Each structure stands twice: as C-alpha cells, then as structure tokens.
Structure 1
C-alpha cells in the first residue's frame, strides 16, 4: 500500500470534521482498525480503498498518492489552464518549462486570491517581497552563468548579493509568520482572525476549478523534493 494512503485518509476525515469513531462506523470497520490504517501500522485491502473512495467522493488514484487531484486527473502540459496567452506560455524546446510555469502561475493565483481576503494588506507586501526575491535570486544565478553578461545590470555587488537577498527573504518570511501569529507589523493592524484562510482540498477544488489541480501538483512535486533531502 502506498505510504500516502494513511496521510490522505486522515486528511479527508479531518477536512470533513468526522470523528474517527464515526468514520469507522460508516466504513464498516472498528475504530481500532481505522486507527491502524491512518497510522500506517496495518495495510488494508482493495475493497476498503474503494469504500473510502466512495465515502469521501475521491478517486482511488488520489487515495494511493498516484494523482495529486481528488478526481485522479493526471496532468499534461496542454491540460493545465494558462492565465496568459498561448504565445506567451509556449517555450522553445522542452515542455518542462511550460509545465512548471503553469503550475507556479496557477498556484500563485490561488495564493494571492486568498491574501486579497485578508484585512492586513501588509501581508500581501511581505509575501510578494519573498516571492520576488526568490525570482531575483534564480534569475541572477542564470544571468551570471554567462561570463559575457554585464554585471552592471545589478546594483548589489557580486560578493554581497546572495547573502543580502537570503537575509531579505528571511526577513520577509519572519514578517509573514509574525503577522499570521497575530503580531502587529508596521502601521497595519494585527491579524486577529485567520478564518479568511480556512480551506480544504474540497473547497479549493470547488472555488478554483481551473487552478486547484496545479496547486495540488505543485505541493506533491515540492514535497517530493523535500523528501529527497530528508
């Protein structure tokens, strides 16, 4: 059984607000057995996977971690909606840049839409600063790889830019974390209620039918990279 199964069935149950006891009764197993499934202590049979899929309205591929989308959709570049014109979203050569650009762009649409509902507009500034610095760092690394490119394009010196940009990113992240924790930042009011950020995989799919699949795949890909570093 996929190692993702126990994480996903736990996530789905908690998103629905269902107790383990209730879910076990509905699925026809004991609470102790469901607990073992959710903790990955025991493996279930295929019939239970199908029952869980029907119970939560998701695909078996999603439960097994084979698809990042609840419906089991596997994306191709052509199937990912692009917020830009077709001309701008097609790159010469490999389709990989096109795929990754769409995943990132579509995921950012969701992130900034959620941020727009937040009363603390300073949060948008700090999140934007962090993301712009990340793009700046990657662009400058690529730009600097060609020796003939003029270093004068950038004001921050070659010896300082990596350390300074990393420090600025850490500062932006710290400001975001402080704001979300309810601390006041600058002249803006403290964020006293984070309910505007309440979401589930189900609500994201419903509210962002064009972009949710991109976000789920971005999360899956990112955590795959994180897992390689563990």
Structure 2
C-alpha cells in the first residue's frame, strides 16, 4: 500500500521540516536526494530505532518490510552536531546504540524520545546542552544571501556544516523543486526556463539522478510500483 505521510514547517531556526509516516506490507521505496541531514525515529515490527541520517547525493532504493511508523526532524542548513560532523554521514548515517518506545541514546546520554508535536522543544534541549549548534551564515548563503566574509571561508563553513558544497546543495534542491512543479502539471519546458536548466535533456538527467523518476513518472505516480519518499516545497526556516 502507499506510504501515508504528513509534514509541517517549523518556527525554529534550527529546523527545516518535521514529518511522520506509516507503511504497511512489503514494498520498495525510492528515497530521493536531499541536502539536509535528519534525526529519524522509526518502529518496525515492534522494534524502535533512532538514527542520524546524512544528506543523500542521489536517489536510491530502500526496502520496507512489515508494518512501520516513522518520524523525523529535518535540520536547516547550518545546524549540526559538533560530536557528529555531517560530512561523516553523507549518504549514510549512525544509529543510536539503544532506543526504546520512551528514550534513545545520543552522544552517550539518554534522551526522551521526541514526537511530531514536540520536536521543537526537543531541539531546544539539544541547543541548551550544546549538542546542536548553528552557523546562520551558512543558511543565508545557501538561500542566496550575500556573505560578509571571503568566498573560501564561506566554502569551508558551508562544507563543515552541511557536508556538501554550495553547488551540490543547489543541484539537489533545484531537482526537488523541478519534481514538485512537474508533478503539479507544469510543462517540462517551462520548468527548464524557470529553474535555469540548459535544456530538457539536462532536466531529465537531474530528475533521474536526484529524484529517481522521469517527468512522465512524476506526472503519473499511480503507475509506479514503488513509493516515493517525502517531497515538499522548501521554505525558509522560521517561516510556516
């Protein structure tokens, strides 16, 4: 059966999005590329898991087995954990050594398991404990703002906080925006001009690499045998 999911924006400068989902039965999911890292919590066949999952630089396939429920906090660019550099979990992740229905272990300490409604309060606790920090310049330049420091310093700070280059972030996020527009019925040629692709083949290659779908497949999702992971329009942190 299709994955049931919902997501919401956040008023926290540290958080881009909060989401949750549920799946039943065995199926394959296409996980689309993302330039943000997440804390993810899920229960599968009665077993609770918690993990930090890094940015994904290409679409990939994942197996979903049995009944599962998941919840995640997607962090804004510029927010990271000093004890867990994002560069070390790009296209991967680190699972908590212990998780239950009530708590999980992070940075060697036990924390109460957050949920969809109290994610921001949990994030504030991490900030107060100095486990989560933020470089506001990173999010500003990723969104197209002008930096007040040299370009090499900006590159180092962006890479340090996100694990990716500015160019990689822009390519991933542009492909996600293109997928949303095409799924909404916007003609591919219009998407090419609107988002600055060279031509339709350039757009097609980006969709295949980062989304794992063609334009035709995005327009007709009911014809796909596998589900697509959460695809949403990016909003600036702090804007709901």
TM-score normalized with structure 1 length:
0.30
Q: Which has the higher helix share?
A: 1
Q: Which has the higher strand share?
A: 2
Task: Answer with 1 or 2: which has the greater Rg.
Answer: 1
